Chains A and B, each alone.
Chain A
Amino acid sequence: MTTRFGGLHTIWLILMVATCATTWWLSKDSVSAQVGTVAIVLIAAFKIRFVLLHFMELRHAPTPWRLIFEAWVLIATAAILGFYLQTPTAG
């Protein structure tokens, strides 16, 4: 099945597990606020990249199109983390 659907089942499973890890583990107090948050944002960025490359098929797209969307992920993530790291923790 995995090869028939080009690995889509595996991608879906990874996305589900990553979502559960961020929602019900990394966001909890057992993980320090800053480490947990940075990990959560980075995992979200990788999840978005997975959706772009595998569901939206940008891995088979002309390189300039792929680069535009990869750049979006990079810039959005860097901006979010940049602001986050400047913000004093309120906890």
Chain B
Amino acid sequence: MRRWRPHAEQVVTVVTKPQAAPLRRLPGVEGIWVFVAADMAMFAILFVSFMQGRLAEPALFEASRQTLDVNFGGINTLILLTSSWLVALGVVAVRQGRAERLPALLAAALACGLAFMVSKAIEYGGKLAAGITMLTNDFYMFYFTLTGIHLFHVTAGNVVLVVLWVKARNGAFTQDNCVTLECGATYWHMVDLLWIMLFPLLYLLR
């Protein structure tokens, strides 16, 4: 008696689909996001401390605030937003296989970062020339401390941008290899977003 045996075509084969790329992913590595979250938590605490100080001495804070030049704050915000945008464009360009555009975008972003530092130096210089320091009163203590910590972040960000720019010129980033670029970009965007809230807190609250 002949046993029934399936033909090759009848054998059910389990087709394994190629592993689809995850739909949701975090740019860079998780570690940079943990760092960014911790840094942002620290700034949130500083924001609240500032508001507590303002609650205690509203007249002093308002009078001191009025000595700040909103033009500096506003222009610095435009500078950082533009810098952040240029870096975001660079990341997209690399992912689309046009990494040759990256060095110019990073150089422009760096120019913005340096412009922020120059503008801040002019602003600090004006205050110091007028005899105002962080010891003048509680408002200026917050003003110099908060903008100083932020300026430190901008300085570090400029160093990151220089490193990324050198790497980009050497063709280090490709569609398949842009994690370092994404980490640097994530940090730089954080520096931008912290300033977005710091600026109104110090310069604009009436």
Interface residues of A (CB under 8 A from B): 4-6, 8, 11-12, 15-16, 19-20, 22-24, 26-27, 33-34, 36-37, 40-41, 44-45, 47-48, 51-52, 54-57, 60-63, 65, 68-69, 72, 75-76, 79-80, 83-84, 86-91
> CB distance A6 to B74 under 8 Å?
no
Chain A residues near B37 (CB-CB < 8 A)? 68-69, 72
Given that A6-B92, A60-B24 are known contacts, is A89 also in contact with B58, CB under 8 Å in the complex?
Answer: yes
> CB distance A12 to B61 under 8 Å?
no
Given that A12-B82, A86-B55, A90-B62 are known contacts, is A44 also in contact with B206, CB under 8 Å in the complex?
Answer: no
Would you list the 3 A-B pairs with minimal beta carbon distance, nearest first?
A23-B74, A83-B51, A90-B62
Q: Is B140 interfacial (CB-CB < 8 Å)? A: no
> CB distance A48 to B193 under 8 Å?
yes
B47-67 Cβ-contact flags toward A at 8 Å (1 or 0): 110011011001101110000
Nearest chain B CB to A3 CB, angstrom units: 11
> CB distance A80 to B196 under 8 Å?
no
8 more A-B residue pairs beyond the given contacts A55-B85, A75-B44, with a C-beta to C-beta distance below 8 A = A5-B89, A8-B89, A24-B74, A37-B205, A52-B189, A62-B25, A72-B41, A80-B201
Point out which of B70, B197, B200 has the most chain A C-beta atoms below 10 A from its C-beta. B200
> CB distance B196 to A44 under 8 Å?
yes
Contact of B51 among A8, A75, A84, A89 (CB under 8 A): A84
B175-193 Cβ-contact flags toward A at 8 Å (1 or 0): 0000000000110011011
Interchain CA distance A90-B206 in the complex, whole Å: 8
Interchain CA distance A16-B112 in the complex, whole Å: 14
Given that A44-B196, A65-B33, A87-B55 are known contacts, is A51 also in contact with B189, CB under 8 Å in the complex?
Answer: yes
Chain B residues near A88 (CB-CB < 8 A)? 58
Total number of A-B contacts with CB less than 8 angstroms?
139
Chain A residues near B158 (CB-CB < 8 A)? none
Nearest chain-B residue to A65 (Cβ)?
B26
Interface residues of B (CB under 8 A from A): 23-27, 33, 37, 40-41, 44, 47-48, 51-52, 54-55, 58-59, 61-63, 70-71, 73-74, 77-78, 81-82, 84-85, 87-89, 92, 96, 185-186, 189-190, 192-193, 196-197, 199-201, 203-206
Interchain CA distance A22-B196 in the complex, whole Å: 11
> CB distance A56 to B27 under 8 Å?
yes
Interchain CA distance A91-B61 in the complex, whole Å: 11
Given that A5-B92, A69-B37, A88-B58 are known contacts, is A48 also in contact with B197, CB under 8 Å in the complex?
Answer: yes
> CB distance B54 to A44 under 8 Å?
no
